[in-house]
Structure 1
Amino acid sequence: MLPPSSVAPAGTTHLFARFAAGVTAWSGSTAAFCLALGTVLAWAATGPLFNYSETWQLVINTSTTIVTFLMVFLIQRAQNKDSLVLHLKLNELLAAHRGASNRLINAQDFSEEEINMLHKYFCLLAEKARKDHDLGRTHSVEEAEENHQQKRRRHRRHRGGLPTPPTA
């Protein structure tokens, strides 16, 4: 997944990125919560002063709507960046690990149908590992299927009175 191209000059984009990161980090802080709580308490305390008028109610409604509207975009921007970074790190691990399947690199770009197919694939792998009573033994469905078939053959031989061959 490539990042969207920007029509803003690079300096402007970098400045906004720093601003957005700062606001997003600050908005999750205790100080931000205390400021929001203080604002609501101050607004509530001024109710009798303004006779709980419609204008008094409109002030808090409008203020909270504007702040919420803007924060949605800043938080989504931060979430998109975090998600992309996480995907890049996972892709690096998949690409670097010899036994890992490269088919999962950039899985975030798969269609919903492809994702569901992969989900079923890994459910099958988990089921085979559960039956083997060793969740870490295999790393692919193919190997799990081969191990499962070997166990079934050994089990059939054992039940049929044939000696079980030694395992490596």
Structure 2
Amino acid sequence: MTPAKKNTLFTRFAKWTSRITGQPGAFAVATATLVVWALSGPFFGFSDTWQLIINTGTTIVTFLMVFLIQNTQNRDSEAIHVKLDELIRSTRGANNQLLDLEELEVEELDKLRDEYEALAEKARSSIKKRKSVKAR
């Protein structure tokens, strides 16, 4: 399977937006906007309209960015799950029960995590015992 060369318009826009807004320059622009707005306060007499402009602008940007960020996060998460599933599937001796863990309920995930934590503790105890035998 090869990656699709043509993404939907929304996917291309979401990727572009997340790339651009994740740059230091985007933070600088946002900061500069707030500084200009704050400095313009005395000129506008710190009016309700002056306050409404920044409140409305930030609310709109935040509202839209939530959806773009969620779209990007969902795609990244799905890709990571598929890659991890492939690594588990292709590794000899791997526990294939771990494929598609993201589909389990929280209680089932907690039970599996507890089992793996117990295995890890057992392995650490074994290492400590070997180190103490070697030190003698």
> Shorter-normalised TM-score: what interval?
0.7 to 0.9
Is the helix fraction higher in 1 or 2?
A: 2
Q: TM-score, normalised by structure 2?
A: 0.86
- Residues 1:40 and 2:4 are matched in the alignment: no
1:102 to 96, 104, 108: 96
Distance 1:122 1:85 in 2: 24
Picking from 61, 75, 78, the partner of 1:81 is 75
Q: Letter of the 1:77 partner, please give it.
A: N
State the identity as a percent: 48
1:16 aligns with 2:7: no
What is the CA–CA distance in structure 2 between the aligned matches of 1:42 and 1:120, rounded to whole Å?
Answer: 53
Deviation per residue, 1:12-70 (Å, 9 max, x gap): x7111000100011111111111101111111111111000010001001100110111
Q: How does 1:1-168 map to 2 (within 5 A)?
A: 14-133=8-127
Give SS of 1:131's match: helix
The one-character-per-residue Cα deviations of 1:85-122 (angstroms, maximum 9, x if unpaired) are: 11111000000001110000000111111101101110
Q: Give the aligned residue type for 1:117.
A: K
State the structure with bigger RCO (CA 8 A, min sep 6), 1 or 2: 2
Q: How many residues align?
A: 123
Q: Residue type of the partner of 1:66?
A: I
> Partners in 2 of 1:41 and 1:114 — Cα distance?
50
Structure number with greater Rg is: 1
**Where does structure 2 lack aligned partners over 5 or more consecutive residues?**
1-5, 129-136
Query: Normalising by structure 1, what TM-score?
Result: 0.70
Mark the runs of 5 or more structure 1 residues left unpaired by the alignment: 1-10, 135-168
SS in 2 for 1:113: helix
Distance between the aligned counterparts of 1:128 and 1:30, measured in 2?
Answer: 45
